[in-house]
Amino acid sequence: MNSVVYTRLTDNLHMLQYRDYETKYFEGLWHIPEGVTYNSFVLETNEGLVVFDTWKRSLGKLYVDEFSKHFDVKDIKYLVTHHMEPDHSGSIPYLLASNPNMIVLGHVLSKGMIESFYQVKPGFNAVKDGETLKLGGFTIKFIHTPWLHWPETIMSYIEEEGALLTCDAFGSYGIPSKAYYDELSPEERTGFTRYMAKYFANIIGHFRDWVVKNVEKLSQLNMKISTILPAHGVLYRGGDVAGVVEKYKRLGVGEPISGKTVIVYSSMYGFVEDIVNLMIEHLEKNNIKPVIHGFTDKKWSDISEIIADVYQAENLIIATATYEAKTFPIMKHVSELIIEKTPVNKNILIIALYGWGGKAGSELEELFTRHGFRNLDVIEFRAGQHQAVWGQLKDRLSKIVRGNG
């Protein structure tokens, strides 16, 4: 597998892409067996090069080596940092070591981060929102897009190329076989639609209100965007530009997939799993096929996939064991991530089982209610009594069944 890919996108615009098959947990948190890419872009002008973002910190030397196969580092006039997270800014000190005369452009907040993160003090120009740079026949417009997903995030629009460079926004997990979405097979396109939704839920979801604000801001700038070039994943051009913007808007507003039902459960000794199996059977008889994620003594579901599924769910069922008179620990952790990362517009059913004392149900109810989730039902009962409460539980499930009908 070739980890480094150079692509000439146009006569003057290039991409240096690192395909990361090694990172298993993005940000040390999100499991990504599908891998991830770091996309750095280079604009070639007759007055020098403009570099947009780099690769992650551990790849700094490799980045300069690969860059030097196609360009002269000494020709870099400007380095634009859209976002200071080290998976994009990590190679900055390596470039500066080879060309200390380049000027770094970014949000005013980025200067302090560069100096702190990398112990360097480059020539730095803070760009204002809407400011333009003219260089070698090209016009670059800088757009402040805060909280996508750090406060200093900006984008760049290269007018003559019709290219919007968006850093994390419109990005995805996954390692595409080709540069552009329209070059992928139908199966791979489906995969990348999922990877984008998963990346959004994991990384951007907490700031979804800012997605709506910033997408609206971009739409009002009357830019003639022909390509969207994110710093992770696949690129978009032509008719796919409007499509990916629409997908992003839907994710930003938290639009659920109609009828999508997700069950997340923990079961220590099989009692919770018994009730989950009864619910699955009942829902499937009513033409609802729930997405199941479980934590048992034999399997653990992938938390990054749970957050991706719950993000777009209309209905969420949380079934948990009680542990030391509290919510089972992994379910408490998953619930807190759901609260932090996903919209509140869900029907939630909480089912809590206990042995010698019930507490988990009320604890989760208070937790979700405190954070704005309003459509909640709670059933709590002693393990082994699932047949006795099944009628009551079916009544609670009827809300899901009616909604799907």
> Contact at 8 Å (CB) between 353 and 267?
no
Query: What pLDDT does residue 386 have?
Result: 81
Long-range contacts of 147-150 (CB under 8 A, 24+ apart): 147/207, 147/210, 147/214, 148/204, 148/207, 148/210, 148/211, 148/214, 149/203, 149/204, 149/206, 149/207, 150/83, 150/84, 150/85
Distance (Å, whole) CA 405 – CA 403:
6
Give residue 357's pLDDT: 81
pLDDT given for residue 358 in this prediction: 83
Tell me how far apart the alpha carbons of residues 173 and 31 are, in angstroms, rounded to a whole number: 10
Which residues fall within 8 angstroms of residue 298, CB to CB, at 6 or more apart?
A: none
Q: According to the model, what pLDDT value does residue 288 have?
A: 94
CATH class of 4-253: alpha beta
Q: Are 4-253 and 261-404 in the same CATH fold?
A: no
Q: Rounded to whole angstroms, how far apart are CA atoms 214 and 154? A: 10
CATH number of 261-404: 3.40.50.360
Q: Which helix (H) or strand (E) holds 145?
A: none
Give the chain's residues under pLDDT 50.
Answer: 405
pLDDT digits over 199-246, tens only? 999 999 999 999 999 999 999 999 999 999 999 999 999 999 999 999
pLDDT confidence of residue 404: 58
pTM: 0.95
What are the tokens at 157?
């629009």
Residue closest to 319 by CA, chosen among 277, 258, 373 = 277
Q: Where are the domains of the chain?
A: 4-253, 261-404
CA distance 91 to 63: 7
Helix (H) or strand (E) holding 248: helix 239-253
